[in-house]
Amino acid sequence: MELCARKDVPEEQKWDLSLIFPEEKEMWEALDGVKEKVKEFAETYSGKLDTAETIVRCLDEMGDLLPAMYRIWGYSELAVEADYTDNALRERYEKVSDELTRMQTALSFVDSEILLAPDVVLDAAVELAKGCRVYLKDLVARKAHMLSPETEKTLAALGRSFEVPYSIYNTLKLADMDFQPFTAGGKEYPLGYSLYEDDYELEGDTEVRRAAFRAFYDTLKKYENTTAAAYNACVTQEKTMSELRCFNDVFDSLLFDQKVTREMYDRQIDVITERLAPHMRRYAKLLKAKHGLDRMTFADLKIAVDPEYDPKVTIEESHRYVREGLAILGKDYTDMVDRAYKERWIDFARNVGKSTGGFCADVFRQNSFILLNWNDRMSDVFTVAHELGHAGQSMYGDRAQSFYDADPSTYLVEAPSTMNELLLANHLTSTSSDPRFRRWVLSSQISNTYYHNFVTHLREAWYQREVYKIIDGGGSVNAEVLSDIFRRNLELFWGDAVEIPEGAELTWMRQPHYYMGLYSYTYSAGLTVATQAMLRIRQEGQPAVEDWKRFLAAGNTEDPVGLARIAGFDITTDGPLNATIDYIGSVIDEICAITKEIDGICV
Ligand SMILES: [Zn+2]
């Protein structure tokens, strides 16, 4: 189980970044080319953005330059994500980032100069614009929060230093953190970040699982102060920016680009905390009874209801599962799934220095790249389906929209991905009438899809909101404060049903999303829309599938409320969220009923 070095990973388990550039030298050539174009662009447009026609032409041209820059960035960044211990790759990435930051600085005049134009010119430009229309409208809406062109230029030049807290967090976590082996039942086990998150946390053997928990959190504890300092720097910076840009508070500033109201944000956190808790506590009680545990602790929450029904899955088999699970979305969708496997869009490997968790990165109008840590479990198949959901959204969005409009607001970014998890679960339950199999699928839906998005990330969201309240009030945070908030958070949600052992409060150290503003809560927002859409597809079939694809293709051309409307739902009310929580409750009820039938256990 020891992790291997990146160089020892078999080719077929790695993504193929040569799809972006066949060799590194092509990337440097592309970089030189785009650098030249940025220079020409700045010479052409700087100081001349005073008519509607010029503004639109300038933005359209920039819409071609930006994807070329992101391509270069993606090529060098993704290589680092796969191996943070490779100093040569990191050096290359630094060099590329420096060059791109310089280009971004050179382009920073565009937004500020456009906003200097009189309103009548701006209105005419919005009328005239096609691919850059939403971008322009958003820019005008941001006018009150823009600083002088000189200041904007300075901020753009300093752009990379804003990323320092996140970079420290990642380096600490992926390169410096030193996990020692631990023992359980007289046997020694190796430990690592992703080994814990992808393996031990789900381990069926209680002694091993709890020993791993202690060893993992004991190691985190050694790094709590540095992690807290990096995080404090990040949120303080966000607060400073919100003040400089004249937002009411840091929440308004962070929600502004998502086009989400504070009410929608708060509702997601408050309603779930209150209404989902009783269902999840019942689920925790079921796990305790089913496994005959002496007590239910935070370290036991991720075990499967019926671990024997958690068969090993190979990467080849995952292809078939995902393909069949998503077949309802049509041939163009399954073609994409096939290409992802055949052309090696996915990095399955588990190696030293690789980023934990999973993500999907799109190269505009080409293909997406997916990073995950494959562990032969069915939950990994759900991860593949999830990440391919992002890839599918990019595919439709890239085809139908300009670079500016291809991706939806963060609020809905997790809808296409979680939708795929639900479709896969739906498909699996339809393939067998065996109650044990059905329980296994339903409980994976709870322990993977809903646990991850409605519990893990939502607890993070609750915690984040408390942190930002402190920061907004002029305070700062340190490890003690953060641990205290997180413990309160877990105790509030789990009540008497789950014991929160020493160390669990350090869970705030585990999530990179905190460095991306108000992101954590959006998982549940996306899954709310996905759940309703899945239930609609179940009931109505094809018309609901078509609406879903229109939703995917709409990209960022509407705000979240408008996008959800395309999929068929009104998210200005709490109706979809409450219906989703009811659905989760009904799934847990069914798992309990099947367990009563099979094992005679009642909770
Ligand atoms: Zn995702």
The rounded Å distance from CA 116 to ligand 1 centre is: 38
Tell me the pLDDT of the chain averaged across its residues.
Answer: 95
The rounded Å distance from CA 149 to ligand 1 centre is: 35
* Type of residue numbered 228: A
The rounded Å distance from CA 418 to ligand 1 centre is: 7
The rounded Å distance from CA 383 to ligand 1 centre is: 9
The rounded Å distance from CA 452 to ligand 1 centre is: 10
The rounded Å distance from CA 182 to ligand 1 centre is: 32
The angle subtended at Cα 130 by Cα 124 and Cα 131, nearest 5°, is 130
pLDDT above 90 for 89: yes
Which pLDDT score, from 0 to 100, does residue 57 have? 98
- Read off the pLDDT of each residue in 235-257 and give the average, rounded to a whole number: 96
Q: In whole angstroms, what is the distance from residue 474 CA to residue 452 CA?
A: 32
The rounded Å distance from CA 367 to ligand 1 centre is: 16
Cβ proximity of 115 and 148 under 8 Å:
no
The rounded Å distance from CA 449 to ligand 1 centre is: 11
Which pLDDT score, from 0 to 100, does residue 513 have? 85
Cβ proximity of 426 and 385 under 8 Å:
no
The rounded Å distance from CA 272 to ligand 1 centre is: 19
The rounded Å distance from CA 413 to ligand 1 centre is: 7
The rounded Å distance from CA 455 to ligand 1 centre is: 15
Which pLDDT score, from 0 to 100, does residue 179 have? 95
pTM for the full predicted model: 0.90
pLDDT above 60 for 1: no
Which pLDDT score, from 0 to 100, does residue 554 have? 97
- pLDDT band at 317; cut points 50, 70, 90: very high
Concatenated DSSP letters for 320-354?
A: HHHHHHTGGG-HHHHHHHHHHHHTT-EE---BTTP
The rounded Å distance from CA 415 to ligand 1 centre is: 8
- pLDDT band at 182; cut points 50, 70, 90: very high
**What digits encode the pLDDT tens for the residues 22-58?**
999 999 999 999 999 999 999 999 999 999 999 999 9
Instruction: Give the whole-number percent of the chain exceeding pLDDT 70.
Output: 100
Q: In whole angstroms, what is the distance from residue 128 CA to residue 406 CA?
A: 20
Of 117-126, 271-280, 306-315, 581-590, the one with minimum mean pLDDT is: 306-315
pLDDT above 90 for 437: no
The rounded Å distance from CA 268 to ligand 1 centre is: 18
Which pLDDT score, from 0 to 100, does residue 72 have? 98
Which pLDDT score, from 0 to 100, does residue 152 have? 87
The rounded Å distance from CA 414 to ligand 1 centre is: 5
pLDDT above 60 for 475: yes
The rounded Å distance from CA 389 to ligand 1 centre is: 8
- pLDDT band at 274; cut points 50, 70, 90: very high
The rounded Å distance from CA 544 to ligand 1 centre is: 22
- Helices 435-444 + 575-599 axis angle, to 10: 140
Residues 6+ apart with CB under 8 A from 529: 412, 415, 564, 567, 569, 571, 576
pLDDT above 60 for 261: yes
- Read off the pLDDT of each residue in 217-239 and give the average, rounded to a whole number: 97
**What digits encode the pLDDT tens for the residues 4-14?**
999 999 999 99
Cβ proximity of 217 and 317 under 8 Å:
no
- pLDDT band at 287; cut points 50, 70, 90: very high
Query: Strand 346-347 vs strand 182-184: parallel, antiparallel, or unpaired?
Result: unpaired
The rounded Å distance from CA 359 to ligand 1 centre is: 6
pLDDT above 90 for 512: no
Which pLDDT score, from 0 to 100, does residue 195 have? 87
**What digits encode the pLDDT tens for the residues 490-507?**
999 999 999 999 999 999
Instruction: Give the whole-number percent of the chain exceeding pLDDT 90.
Output: 88
The rounded Å distance from CA 390 to ligand 1 centre is: 7
**What digits encode the pLDDT tens for the residues 154-169?**
998 898 899 999 999 9
The rounded Å distance from CA 289 to ligand 1 centre is: 32
**What digits encode the pLDDT tens for the residues 119-148?**
999 999 999 999 999 999 999 999 999 998
The rounded Å distance from CA 603 to ligand 1 centre is: 33
In the numeric block, the tokens 């979680």 are attached to: 418
